[in-house]
Structure 1
Amino acid sequence: MRDLLRFVDPNSEMKTFGGKTVVLGGDFRQILPVVPKGTRQDIVSSAINSSYLWDSCKVLRLTKNLKTSSVHNGAGRHYKSLLTGLPISAMESWVGGMTDSQRLKYLITCRAILAPTLDVVNAVNEYMTELHNAESRSYYSSDAVCKADGDNGILGDVHTPEFLNSIRVSALPNHTLNLKTGSPVMLMRKIDHSLGLCNGTRLIITKLADHVIEGELLISPNKGTKVLIPRMSMSPSDPRLPFKFQRRQFPLMLSYAMTINKSQGQTLTHVGLILKKPVFVHGQLYVAASRVNNQDGLKILIVKDSSSTTTSTTNVVYHEVFNNL
């Protein structure tokens, strides 16, 4: 019987993936691979359907949207919940205000504020944490230039600790982390996959200590489990930085608000989308709008300039990415 289950394809070395069946999942309406400082063509070219492997793929289409059941969150659809003139303070109370701890855990699990850029997310997180009255602590990172062969410490002399502390880049915690017990945070590094401690995991802080932070997982299958988060040494992968440096800090960021990119894959009941700046790449608006499982769970603040709002925004779509689907 064992011999019958064995199969050897003499032509396997000439086939893609050795002739094995590989399933790729994705939605080309969502955000394409991120190419720092990349042009539109660079981004489209990085998608799998621009690869030579695409000719070996067979496209299968899902026809039923299980997330939204009777509501279809297609790109370009008009939402009756689209609002303007909604201030951040009103959006804060709508997606979940500072109430008792059990209700706060529930609200954080199923609601979120989204924005296209990290600077807006940081501003909203700072605003929200000011409203939260609880035990607080500030944690400061230790930053240093990575020693490269032959630099003789020159970069270390040029890039002072104060300069390194001021750097804010995606996928790296800030130099100063102002945290409070009961605040929601997002993990920025993979620590323990078996516990669900992966990049993007959301927790709520339960204790703040000198060398470790205790947090409670908010999402199943380990929902309610308390875990300890240590400091870690991290280096940014942003190619726009002309040098390498290392930051030792807790791999956490506040997550009252998060970037649209970080929200991919999540299903929420309420989303407050803040567009102080318009979306700027393919699929961002679609991803933000399709996080909710009902159209009444979406509120959007579109800011025209510093003094007024508007009722429309641009939906960025790279139509060429659909050419060979």
Structure 2
Amino acid sequence: MDCVTDVNNKMTAGLPGQERVYLSSDSVCVEKENMEFELDAFSPKILNGINCSGLPPHKLVVKVGAPVMLMRNIDQTNGLYNETRMQVRRMENHVIEYKTLTGNKVGSIVLIPRLNLIPNNETLPVRFQRRQFPIIMSFAMTINKSQGQTLSKVGIYLSRPVFTHGQLYVALSRVTSKDGMRVLLQDHRHLEDNCTMNVVYREVFESL
């Protein structure tokens, strides 16, 4: 995830045009149990620093022309569902205008406001909500997020070998032709040059 964030930040910085920074408003969810303790212990500054899967960052840097990915189902009838890829067209104080790039409404123009988003992550020390635009930059995405995407050109950056059954297959199968595929391996020392590990749990097939 950190690798994807670094790539997205670098690509966004290199994109021409004026950037706009949107900061989220974070607050502890009002609940009866331990409410007083949570309000005292988790200040907005601490909540701002929490980043987890399925939640946009506190500091969202956006430029016109940048590709983004929607992080929530908003209006599936009009093609606005989780993991829809879009391109930023215009940035305002309360809404951002996009052109959809994937789904059943490719090319449509949509306006999406900030939403109250509550992360569904049981490992977090507190239940809180983040009011932010429900998007994340999408020059690059994780292999898990790429599932279901079909692209003409794909570049796979493996800073280290994959570690989960089927991940390499998912990454390689996103492209429509092998001519549109490029893979960058970063010094996988224990492997031969131009090689990476394909993780397969053979016990998965024993019961078939």
> What is the letter of the counterpart of residue 203 of structure 2?
E
2:131 alignment partner, SS class? strand
Matching of residues 73-222 of structure 1 within 5 Å: 118-219=1-102, 221-222=104-105
Cα separation, 1, equivalents of 2:167 and 2:130:
29
State the identity as a percent: 49
Q: Which has the higher helix share?
A: 1
One-letter amino acid of the counterpart of residue 156, structure 1: L
Change in 2 beyond 3 A, CA 1:163/1:276: same
* Structure 2 gaps, min length 5: none
Q: Give the counterpart letter for 1:164 in structure 2.
A: L
Give 1:257 shift: 0.3
What RMSD in Å do the two structures reach over aligned CA positions?
Answer: 1.7
Q: For residue 236 of structure 1, what is the amino acid of its counterpart?
A: P
For 2:59, give the aligned amino acid.
T
Partner of 1:301: 184
Q: CA deviation at 1:224?
A: 1.4
Give the CA deviation at 1:277. Answer: 2.6
Relative contact order: is structure 1 or structure 2 higher (C-alpha 8 Å, sep ≥ 6)?
1
Structure 2 residue matching 1:278: 3-state secondary structure: coil
CA contact (8 A) 2:24 2:132 kept: yes
Corresponding letter in the other structure for 1:119? D
Letter of the 2:162 counterpart: V
What pairs with 1:263-302 in structure 2 (closer than 5 Å)? 263-302=146-185
Number of the residue aligned with 1:72? none
Cα distance in 2 for residues equivalent to 1:239 and 1:278: 28
1:252 aligns with 2:142: no
| In 2, Cα distance between equivalents of 1:314 and 1:240 | 30
What is the deviation of 1:220?
Answer: 5.1
Write the distance in 2 (CA, Å) between the matches of 1:150 and 1:272.
Answer: 48
Name the residue aligned to 1:101.
Answer: none
Structure 1 runs (4+) deviating above 4 angstroms are: none
Shift of residue 310, structure 1, vs aligned partner: 4.5
- TM-score, scaled relative to structure 2: 0.93
Q: Which residue of 1 aligns with 2:145?
A: 262
**Structure 1 residue 150: deviation in Å?**
3.1
How far 1:305 moved relative to its partner? 6.9
Counterpart CA distance in 1 for 2:141 and 2:44 is: 28
Q: What letter corresponds to residue 208 of structure 1 in structure 2?
A: M
| Residues 28 and 128, structure 2, Cα contact 8 Å, conserved in 1 | yes
Match of 2:124 in 1: 241
Aligned partners of 1:285, 1:311: CA distance in 2, in Å?
14
| Aligned residue identity for 2:131 | R
User: Cα distance 1:267–1:314, how it changes in 2: closer, same or farther (>3 A)?
Assistant: same
Residues 161 and 188 of structure 2 are in contact (CA less than 8 Å); yes or no, is this contact kept in structure 1?
no
Asked if 1:323 is matched to 2:206, the reply is: yes
- Deviations 1:117-157 (CA, angstroms, capped at 9, x unpaired): x1111100001011111232100001111222131421121
Aligned AA (2:160): K
